[in-house]
């Protein structure tokens, strides 16, 4: 019995060029209190530029684990994750940092904005870390794209939850990543915004969500249960 769980619409038979994101028969085990817990079980999927994919399932089904593996923030127990054609488990720390900084944007569930920095300074942060001396114009452009140009100089605590989420999106996009990973984005307006980004900028978006209404905005919905893709 082949226990490989796949996302049928995303799998293609040996594409001629390497896909943007390729996850091949990935297993991820965690050790808790001496016991091994399987978070992902033989998961396989591929994504191309401009695809908008939703991972849907209950808490603990492995959505966030899959996002972390896709963003090279964690590594599989077995199987391979290839990002932009590069196997993440073959890179050293410096190469991983560069890969994440240049190719991946991540929108955290709790946004992770720095509260001592203004909105525009938060958005500039990835560019400053990459060594850009004058990041302000690009940061303002990204804020304008998410509709927050006029709030650029506010502090995060002066924003609503939705506005903070938009700032997090602008920050994730400021270095023009090829893939955007979103952990539980909420609200129809945000989903519409992500849909636009995917379509207009050809950025691949992999989104973990509980929401079944997300299906209306994405190209593909992958349902997960107990660490496996079921639909």
Residues that bind another protein (CB under 8 A): 114, 116-117, 121, 125, 127-133, 135
Min. distance of Cβ 117 from another protein in angstroms? 6
Sheet with 5-6, side-by-side order of all strands: 5-6, 35-47, 21-32, 78-83, 86-87
- Helix, strand, coil: what percent of the chain each, to 5? 35, 25, 40
Return the number of the residue (64 or 122) whose C-beta is nearest another protein: 122
What totals of helices (H) and strands (E) does the chain contain, helices first?
Answer: 6, 11
Min. distance of Cβ 78 from another protein in angstroms? 38
Q: Residue-wise over 89-107: b if at least 16 C-beta within 10 A, else e? A: eebeeeebeebbbebbbbb
Return the number of the residue (170 or 193) whose C-beta is nearest another protein: 170
In degrees, to the nearest 5, what angle opens at C-alpha 40 toward C-alphas 2 and 173? 125
Return the number of the residue (37 or 130) whose C-beta is nearest another protein: 130
Are 103 and 20 contacting, i.e. CB atoms less than 8 angstroms apart? no
Min. distance of Cβ 70 from another protein in angstroms? 27
Return the number of the residue (87 or 129) whose C-beta is nearest another protein: 129
Min. distance of Cβ 132 from another protein in angstroms? 6
Min. distance of Cβ 165 from another protein in angstroms? 22
CB-based burial of residue 59 (10 Å sphere; 0-12 exposed, 13-18 middle, 19+ buried)?
exposed
Return the number of the residue (129 or 230) whose C-beta is nearest another protein: 129
Return the number of the residue (37 or 129) whose C-beta is nearest another protein: 129
Beta strand ranges found along 48-174 (DSSP E): 52-56, 78-83, 86-87, 104-107
Q: How far is 43 from 224, CA to CA, in rounded Å?
A: 10
Min. distance of Cβ 121 from another protein in angstroms? 6
């Amino acid at each position: 019995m082949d226990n490989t769980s796949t996302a049928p619409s995303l799998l293609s038979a040996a594409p001629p060029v390497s896909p943007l994101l390729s996850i091949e028969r990935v297993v991820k085990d965690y050790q808790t209190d001496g016991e091994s817990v399987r978070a992902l079980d033989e998961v396989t999927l591929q994504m191309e530029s401009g695809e908008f994919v939703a991972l849907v399932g209950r808490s603990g089904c492995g959505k966030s684990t899959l996002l972390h593996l896709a963003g090279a923030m964690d590594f599989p127990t077995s199987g391979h994750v290839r990002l932009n054609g590069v196997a993440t488990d073959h890179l050293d720390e410096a190469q991983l940092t560069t890969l994440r900084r240049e190719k991946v944007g991540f929108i955290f569930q709790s946004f992770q904005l720095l509260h001592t920095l203004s909105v525009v300074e938060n958005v500039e942060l990835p560019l400053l870390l990459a060594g850009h001396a004058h990041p302000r114009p690009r940061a303002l452009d990204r804020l304008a794209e998410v509709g927050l140009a006029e709030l650029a100089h506010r502090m995060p605590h002066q924003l609503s939850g939705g506005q903070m989420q938009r700032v997090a999106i602008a920050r994730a996009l400021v270095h023009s990543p090829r893939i955007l990973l979103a952990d539980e984005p909420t609200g129809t307006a945000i989903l519409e915004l992500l849909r636009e980004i995917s379509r207009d900028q050809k950025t691949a978006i992999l989104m973990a969500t509980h929401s079944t209404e997300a299906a209306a905005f994405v190209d593909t919905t992958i349902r997960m249960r107990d660490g496996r893709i079921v639909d």
